[in-house]
Chain A
């Protein structure tokens, strides 16, 4: 009975429930599904980690809340020389590191030089400095960077600026295992207080932040290992924010009092990709892709056979938008829209007509078309991903539509790791996957260049970025051109032209732009800011706008006690099942007992 008393004491322990804050501190708790991997900016890679760094550190240039255009951050202003090779940034004055030292242009120069001269340091940021020749800080307020070629990405350098006086003592060898968890010095709106691996990351507000003082005192990122528990914690009020939710739990949150849901446009798309003729970057063919898919008329026919709206409605529960291009529609200035004449709309008759016209006919009456020479049937391997329900469901629909146009598919569900390997070797015909796209289009567009195909190293074929093996010299020419075009409008024109090529040549059928489903306790916090505005997600985007603006709601409406959201029926059923089974077993035992006696 002493045990029972101790248990009662446990449940009644004062001041330790997660909602209650010590001494009036206002803590905003975000439930994260992936633990932060490493807080060292040269090591970590996860989206959750980038979110934490954005709070701890500043960047030179930020992304506007409205439309992702470059906005001043540590750099108050910038200008480029007439030859478009020298960039001069005016660094904000009066900014202090969390240990009181002033932040100057020298810190910024140090950060970039360290990456340029380092090897391990290049892993995360090498791509940003590849075109930079020299970085100097002539005085505390001025940063000068010289590039080898004109480069529009000079306003998109997503490199956290680090304090030289701390990092100069961490040498090249140590940096690859440095934790960056104790006494971390940063300049951001929040400061790292404590990190417990597998549990949480806690940050406190920087009350002298140059970009405005946050209204909340602390941010806690709490790790959940499964989405169900995260959902329950949000319903209970143990956490204030959840993201990356699935449609069903998201819908159930809509009716939870005190919770507000946001289906935010996100910069991600799903695609059906083709093996357009696998080859190495040297042009040497590899793999065993089906020859019919090298023919863009077959790929276009398949594009006509994919009902994107059906995928939106039936796979994503409406929380997605039918898509056209590899640059998502939320990047309004860059995304491409086909003209009426060239649009590959859902039209099974048109798809059949295209295949007939191209000579792919069903000559033996087995409802599967053959190659024009009457030989090999159009029977494709179609891979989906084990990790994603949406992937598997989409592929089932696609299989059905393709059957209607005389194309047979063998569907296989693969682990993402396994699929990555197979793609690199070119041993596939079609698969379903997706990408998250950065505000700068360069990276996404680079995945379709000839040079992004697999390469050979010591006899092994190693995967690069391309997973369609698309290779078009015209496209590559435009890619090189956009890479050196600084004027945003001119660059956008080129980028759209490239997307048109991808649309028409169809290495991908881009199916949907899916939403990031987020929800928060609006009975505790209001003032979230979407990006892009309107329509975007409110956290986990390109900026920390919401962290600076949220605070307690003005009129404190009487909110529920946070509990009680759980329907009692399934639990009652569960309890009843256990009880009934126990009784049944007891009865069974009794009957055998009786026989024995």
Chain B
């Protein structure tokens, strides 16, 4: 019997790989789902009490609030309700904002994706360019200066770099006017969907995006530079040159594609974190993103919101990892067989 079934469907190595990856990802997500529930309930603080602290709320009323959050029930029952709700796509109602968690998250996700997405793209492109150019002309003035500068920026606390840029370009120093807003995503009285609105958002986006880009360039530059340096001694490059290819072509067609592999991993790892935001930069520039939202949720603690936000973060990381694995297999045939 078993022999028949294997004969009717014999998955290829690639399909098996994909299936294994997806099952693994689903298991990770399920683990996160369960783990989050218990993790956040270990946090100190009673949400009902914290939401009514120092206000004219009688004890009976706090109890009503506690019941309405479902916190009066035994933990096991709360857990079953939670899992059931999540599986049916209901993330619950935020304690603090009193709105559906999915709605609260939806509102905050696009500023985060805009900021983190753009700065990830910019730092990747610039970082790779610096890394490639530096490795190809190793020891040149460009290599030394760019590497030194990007390492310094990498070593600087983001918070400090952010405040510095805010003071120079946001507020202005003597003789140099503040060109950009000190924070926020848009100005009141502007329609976001109009040309003025787009310019307005771009102006607000400039400084936080610049800060994040500067902070992350080094990561890409370094990885790219060292992996390209590894390739430079390889025989196939000598062969390519012997074929009479110009230097630029040797670099572009032969060296860079091979050196890109480690960088791809890095890019996808970082892409996974695009939705989780950057709490420090969101704080400095008052950027209304998900990083800050999760921090606010921790303070209550707003269990449904925390669970929703962390589920999203985990899902993004897991998804990016699966994608990286799949892409890796395409880029490097050795991974496919192994």
Contact = CB atoms under 8 A, between A and B. Distances in A.
A198 B288 contact: yes
A578 B153 contact: yes
B102 interface: no
Contacts of B96: 37
Contact of A571 (B44, B54, B155, B173): B173
A236 B170 contact: yes
A126 B45 contact: no
B49 interface: yes
Interface stretch (A38-46, A53-61, A133-141, A527-535): A38-46
A43 B99 CA distance: 10
Contact of B51 (A45, A225, A418, A438): A45
Contact of B172 (A236, A435, A436): A236
A122 interface: yes
B119 to A, nearest CB: 14
Given A37-B96, A119-B64, A578-B152, A443 B56 contact: yes
Nearest to A570: B167
A420 interface: yes
Contacts of B196: 15-16
Contact of A232 (B52, B93, B170, B287): B170
Interface residues of A, number: 84
Interface in A181-206: 194, 196-200, 202
Given A13-B199, A202-B188, A417-B50, A586 B144 contact: yes
Interface string B55-98: 11111011111001000000000000000000000000100111
B98 A568 contact: no
Contacts of B49: 420, 424, 462-463
Interface residues of B, number: 87
Contacts of A238: 181-182
Interface in A68-100: none
B257 interface: no
A226 B284 contact: yes
Interface stretch (B200-208, B235-243, B266-274, B321-329): B200-208
Interface string A429-465: 0000001101000010000000000010100001111
Given A22-B189, A582-B149, A233 B288 contact: no
A570 B148 CA distance: 22
A435 B144 contact: no
A201 B281 CA distance: 22
A259 to B, nearest CB: 13
A565 interface: yes
A235 interface: yes
Given A420-B45, A585-B152, A561 B177 contact: yes
A199 B185 contact: yes
B283 interface: yes
Interface in B97-131: 97-100, 104, 107-108, 111
A410 interface: no
Contact of A10 (B170, B206, B293): B206
A593 B139 contact: yes
B164 A584 contact: no
B147 interface: yes
Contact of A16 (B171, B174, B200, B286): B200
A532 to B, nearest CB: 21
A96 to B, nearest CB: 26
A101 to B, nearest CB: 27
A115 to B, nearest CB: 11
Interface in A513-550: none
A220 interface: yes
B285 A229 contact: yes
A232 B284 CA distance: 11
Given A436-B54, A582-B152, A585-B152, A564 B174 contact: yes
B250 interface: no
B215 interface: no
Q: Give the interface centre of A222, A225, A436, A581 by most chain B CB atoms within 10 Å.
A: A225
A581 B54 CA distance: 50
B282 interface: yes
A533 to B, nearest CB: 26
B224 interface: no
B167 A578 contact: no
Tell me the dominant secondary structure on chain A's binding face: mixed
Interface in A85-137: 119-120, 122-124, 126-128, 130
Contact of B151 (A199, A224, A585): A585
Contact of A435 (B54, B57, B199): B54
A215 interface: no
A224 B148 CA distance: 34
A122 B68 CA distance: 13
Interface in A344-387: none
Q: Give the interface centre of A38, A229, A436, A590 by most chain B CB atoms within 10 Å.
A: A229
A197 B107 contact: yes
Nearest to B98: A43
A197 B106 CA distance: 11
A199 B284 contact: no
B156 interface: yes
Interface in B169-213: 170-175, 177-190, 196, 199-200, 202-203, 206
A194 B188 contact: yes
Given A225-B283, A421-B45, A584 B148 contact: yes
Nearest to B298: A417
Contacts of A589: 139, 143-144, 147-148
A584 B145 CA distance: 10
Interface in A1-41: 7, 10-11, 13, 15-18, 22, 25, 27, 37-38, 40
16 contacts: A16-B190, A16-B196, A38-B97, A119-B64, A194-B188, A198-B288, A232-B166, A232-B170, A438-B56, A462-B62, A561-B177, A565-B171, A571-B168, A578-B152, A585-B151, A590-B144
Interface of B: 43-46, 49-59, 61-65, 68, 93, 96-100, 104, 107-108, 111, 139, 143-145, 147-149, 151-153, 155-156, 160, 163-164, 166-168, 170-175, 177-190, 196, 199-200, 202-203, 206, 282-289, 292-293, 299, 301
Interface of A: 7, 10-11, 13, 15-18, 22, 25, 27, 37-38, 40, 43, 45, 119-120, 122-124, 126-128, 130, 176-177, 179, 194, 196-200, 202, 218, 220, 222-226, 228-229, 232-233, 235-236, 238, 415, 417-418, 420-421, 424, 435-436, 438, 443, 455, 457, 462-465, 561, 563-566, 568, 570-571, 574, 578, 581-586, 589-590, 593
Given A196-B288, A236-B172, 16 more contacts: A16-B190, A17-B181, A18-B187, A45-B55, A198-B111, A199-B286, A202-B189, A228-B163, A232-B170, A236-B170, A420-B45, A421-B44, A436-B54, A566-B167, A568-B173, A581-B152
**9 A-B pairs closest in CB distance:** A198-B288, A417-B45, A585-B148, A563-B172, A127-B56, A586-B144, A418-B44, A586-B148, A582-B148
